[in-house]
Structure 1
Amino acid sequence: MRVHHLNCGCMCPLGGALFDGYSRGWTASVVCHCLLIETDAHGLVLVDTGFGQQDVEHPERLSRFFRTFNNIQLEHRFTALEQLRQLGFKPEDVRHIVLTHLDFDHAGGLQDFPKARVHVMHQELNHATLASDWIERLRFLPAQWRDVADWELYTPDGDTWFGFDSVRAMVGAEQEDILLVPLRGHTAGHAGVAVRTATGWKLHAGDAYFHHDEVHLPKRRCPPGMRFYQSMMDTDRQARLHNQQRLRQLVAESGKTVTVFCSHDARELKQALSAGINEH
């Protein structure tokens, strides 16, 4: 198994370090950290897709509010499809897409891989389809997933993984090398994706947290911009904070056994890229 770390989106909201905790200029740097997993038995697996080709070519399908607020930089080079081509793969090589959730910056590339089976929590698809308030109608865009022909929907039941209940094995991995870990709060059916590699487990926590220091320090710390954005996007704030506490405990207790990272922290992505490709 090989795991590639991809940046499938570039957002530069105003605020610099006040937003992301790192940047020195007027704007922040917010990435869309996705994974491309090469498996022996199941072809290519994508974990999230970031923004897709249709988002780049038709930006009006994204809400003007989020395009402006996040200062989204829509370029083909950031799409998963273009990055796969650079690695020598074709769209049809992607057999499975595992989604942490259905927000516009995670599901935008689904149409670029029409032959893939899409794995997501059942509650997430239901909630996104029935979006009611104004934030939900702007964040969940059915146009991004209306052409999906092959869904695999999951309910929160299964085994346990490092103390987390309700874990379900994904994509038929015989040795449970890819797992879905429910982490609701940001959205109703939000989940992390755990991947077993030669150097231990990698947990892509999606938007369960936004900034490294929220779970990698004994006490939560988050820049004000990120804190505001998370609160604005909360479906269940108490559930999100509870799961962040559980992730802090996991980081503290697992040592080097589990590496935890999120979708939008630029430094976490940089660290993952500097570590290279994980092989199993």
Structure 2
Amino acid sequence: MSDDRYEIRMIRYGRSDRNRPANFHGGDPHDTPMPIDYFFWVISNDKRSFVVDTGFDAETAKRRQRELLKPVGMGLKAVGFEPDQVRDVIVTHMHYDHAGNVDLLPNARYHIQDCEMAYVTGRCMCHHLLNHPFEEENVVSMVRKVFAGRVDFYDGEAEIAPGISVHKVGGHSRGLQIVRVNTERGPVVLASDASHYYEHIENDRAFAVFDDLAELLEGYRTIRRLAPSMRHVVPGHDPKVFERYPAIPGMEGWAVRVDLEPTQ
């Protein structure tokens, strides 16, 4: 594989039952089931690897009434990565389901947007309506990593390795960043929570939790600019991803390869 092309493994670690109105700003007229899945991603080739987001742990799952299917560390090992060998983590944003397991990766550097770190340590966190998607311990742990020299900061767009770039879109969280990854089928955009479900970006609708609605909607423009087609966009929480991409052998229902062509 070329130095600037990667495989992308998308690993499901948790889930939660909910109905459609909970997933859309302004609700939804159809009060039918629309479960949410929780994922993390591993980007790798022969030269380097990156973990994208670190999920939540069992304690957080219990407190927030989420189902932890398989711990993140177990998922990493299943795709061939020992947690203490992980060297780089891209944190799309600091919400509890993307920035937990704070001691799992002791030798990793973390890549985050400047404004996300400023947001989670500033005055906005005085308000429950804004701070409830975050976990205090996750934020404190990231501050400790900053003082330990283990955090790289970005302001907007940046190439962090050949064929891998981050792009600040905000919206859902102040410093939410998406990840563009070069693969054999072209650039794939890991949208994370810039589009929780396919329906959000396809229909210009918004998830129920956001910091800035205008930035959220403008983020869809950025995703479309960076992706050759909608078949190259991977949303952050949609169970339909597992219907569209091939499973990793032996990990059916647990992990898929989103660098490969979708089946639908």
Asked if Structure 1 and Structure 2 have the same fold, meaning a TM-score greater than 0.5 normalized by the shorter chain, the answer is yes
Q: Equivalent residue for 1:181? A: 167
Q: Equivalent residue for 1:162? A: none
SS at structure 1 position matched to 2:196: coil
SS at structure 2 position matched to 1:102: coil
Write the distance in 2 (CA, Å) between the matches of 1:268 and 1:18. 21
SS at structure 2 position matched to 1:106: coil
CA contact (8 A) 2:189 2:226 kept: no
Tell me if 1:36 matches 2:42.
yes
Q: Equivalent residue for 1:207? A: 193
In the alignment, which of 159, 169, 173 is matched to residue 169 of structure 1?
159
Q: Equivalent residue for 1:159? A: none
CA contact (8 A) 1:100 1:190 kept: yes
Q: Equivalent residue for 1:163? A: none
How far 1:26 moved relative to its partner? 6.6
How far 1:259 moved relative to its partner? 0.6
CA distance 1:276–1:241, change in 2 (3 Å):
closer
Tell me if 1:240 matches 2:245.
no
In the alignment, which of 51, 54, 76 is matched to residue 46 of structure 1?
51
Q: Identity across aligned pairs (percent)?
A: 21
CA contact (8 A) 2:52 2:90 kept: yes
- Residues 81-136 of structure 1: CA distance to partner in whole angstroms, max 9, x if unpaired? 11112234311121111011100111113321121101010100110122221123
Write the distance in 2 (CA, Å) between the matches of 1:272 and 1:194. 18
CA contact (8 A) 1:128 1:136 kept: no
How far 1:145 moved relative to its partner? 4.5
Q: Equivalent residue for 2:151? A: 151
Tell me if 1:7 matches 2:12.
yes
Tell me if 1:124 matches 2:116.
yes
How far 1:18 moved relative to its partner? 5.3
TM-score, normalised via structure 1 length: 0.73
CA contact (8 A) 2:197 2:236 kept: no
Q: Equivalent residue for 2:239? A: 266
CA distance 1:105–1:276, change in 2 (3 Å):
closer
Write the distance in 2 (CA, Å) between the matches of 1:37 and 1:111. 21
SS at structure 2 position matched to 1:235: coil
CA contact (8 A) 1:5 1:272 kept: no
The gaps in structure 2 that reach 5 residues or longer are: 1-5, 25-30, 248-255
**Could you tell me which amino acid in structure 2 is paired with residue 125 of structure 1?**
M
Write the distance in 2 (CA, Å) between the matches of 1:135 and 1:50. 21
Q: Equivalent residue for 1:161? A: none
CA contact (8 A) 2:155 2:168 kept: no
Write the distance in 2 (CA, Å) between the matches of 1:109 and 1:8. 12
Write the distance in 2 (CA, Å) between the matches of 1:133 and 1:183. 22
How far 1:249 moved relative to its partner? 6.0
How far 1:213 moved relative to its partner? 2.5
Tell me if 1:197 matches 2:183.
yes
Q: Equivalent residue for 2:76? A: 84
Q: Equivalent residue for 1:140? A: 134
Structure with bigger helix share is: 1
Write the distance in 1 (CA, Å) between the matches of 2:245 and 2:99. 22
RMSD (CA atoms): 2.8
CA distance 1:45–1:215, change in 2 (3 Å):
same
Write the distance in 2 (CA, Å) between the matches of 1:54 and 1:111. 14
Write the distance in 2 (CA, Å) between the matches of 1:177 and 1:241. 26
Write the distance in 2 (CA, Å) between the matches of 1:236 and 1:97. 25
CA distance 1:264–1:168, change in 2 (3 Å):
same
How far 1:40 moved relative to its partner? 2.8
Matched residues, number: 234
Write the distance in 2 (CA, Å) between the matches of 1:19 and 1:147. 30
**Could you tell me which amino acid in structure 2 is paired with residue 81 of structure 1?**
G
TM-score, normalised via structure 2 length: 0.77
